[in-house]
Chain A
Amino acid sequence: MASHADFKDRQFLAVIGDEDSVTGLLLAGIGHVTTGADAQKNFLVVDNKTDNAAIESAFESFTEERKDIGIVLINQHVADRIRHRIDSYTAAFPTVLEIPSKDHPYDPEKDSVLRRVRRLFGE
């Protein structure tokens, strides 16, 4: 499933979320901008004007293109906007974790783990 080399270099957490969520997590010191010509950020601030394509492309970049990210944190309400992408994502690394935001408390109904639990016992 996961090769040895695949997880070793994954040393960053990435965030996709509203401004306060990103600010809060960056305060903890997880923010990183790569050095070099194409400075890549490991976060995306999403607001009402951000279109879904931008969210999707950030998600794709963090999960598929970049090999240095181990956990992708995404606000649950932002994840809802690209739900099909989130639900069809099955790779072991990076792992995706949905987190609550200021205006949207965590909804267990949408929790991927709890949905898996239901599937396991409902079979």
Chain B
Amino acid sequence: MEQQHIDELLERYLGLLNEYTVLRQSLSQVQSGVYQNIARANFSGERGMRYGQDHYDERMQAARRLTISVDDKLQPTFAVIDVPAEEPEEEKAKASGETEKQGDEEDSEKPARKKNKKNKNPLHWFGLFAPMPLRTAQTQSVQAVEEVIPRLVSINAEMLNLEIEVRRARKRRAKAEAVAEKKGEARGVTDTQPQKAPVEAS
């Protein structure tokens, strides 16, 4: 019976492994698309403009954030969601009771709200008119971040849990086998000895 349980777990595990492999491939594809497009943008950049860290906005705020939910089996599921411009401020307002520091910041943030909204798109770090390849790179990267990566890490977590379950089930099976063997030995010691000999020889 334990064997059947292990087989079921492994079947589920292999299903996840298959999905993991497919997602890995699609991540590689999407990422290489992103790199190609950044290279294209750099190639056609005016006056040797390089789309890289020199242009990052030092005050950037994450527009895509993670939500993690855990079910009753401690199985985490990851998702990346697009955060509307207002939401972080709402969060800060909620948290303001907890820390005085954030409360102080809130007053100074209100006038800056409109400005924040405008600057949210990272494309604008590189100027008002970002080249087409960079826009494509952004679309591809959003796909990786929203669709592929959260699913990959969720599957990884699910596989980790299944591995623990399989090992536990195997231990139980080994224990049951040991008990059965002991019973067999108790029944007839003389019968088991000649059986063991050929196994050792092979």
Contact = CB atoms under 8 A, between A and B. Distances in A.
Contacts of B201: none
Interface string B101-130: 100010000000000000011110000000
Contacts, number: 153
A36 B101 contact: yes
Contacts of B82: 29
Residue among A23, A26, A33, A117 with max Cβ neighbours from chain B (10 Å): A23
A95 B62 contact: no
Interface stretch (B52-60, B178-186, B187-195): B52-60
A10 interface: yes
Contacts of A70: 66, 68, 78
B17 A117 contact: yes
Contacts of B59: 33, 35
Residue among A10, A13, A97 with max Cβ neighbours from chain B (10 Å): A13
Determine the interface band of chain B, counting residues with CB < 8 A from chain A.
35 or more
B53 A45 contact: yes
Interface stretch (A49-57, A58-66, A80-88, A100-108): A100-108
B166 A120 contact: yes
A79 B122 CA distance: 26
A29 B31 contact: no
Contact of B64 (A29, A36, A116): A29
Interface string B62-84: 11111110100010101010100
A79 B35 CA distance: 19
Contacts of B63: 29-30
A44 to B, nearest CB: 10
Interface of B: 13, 17, 20, 24, 27-28, 31-32, 34-35, 38-39, 51-53, 56, 58-68, 70, 74, 76, 78, 80, 82, 101, 105, 120-123, 134, 137-138, 140-142, 144-146, 149-150, 152-153, 156-157, 159-160, 163, 166-167, 170
3 tightest A-B CB contacts, nearest first: A29-B63, A32-B62, A28-B141
19 contacts: A10-B66, A10-B68, A13-B64, A13-B149, A20-B35, A20-B52, A24-B34, A26-B60, A27-B122, A28-B138, A28-B141, A32-B61, A97-B149, A99-B31, A100-B32, A101-B31, A102-B32, A108-B24, A120-B167
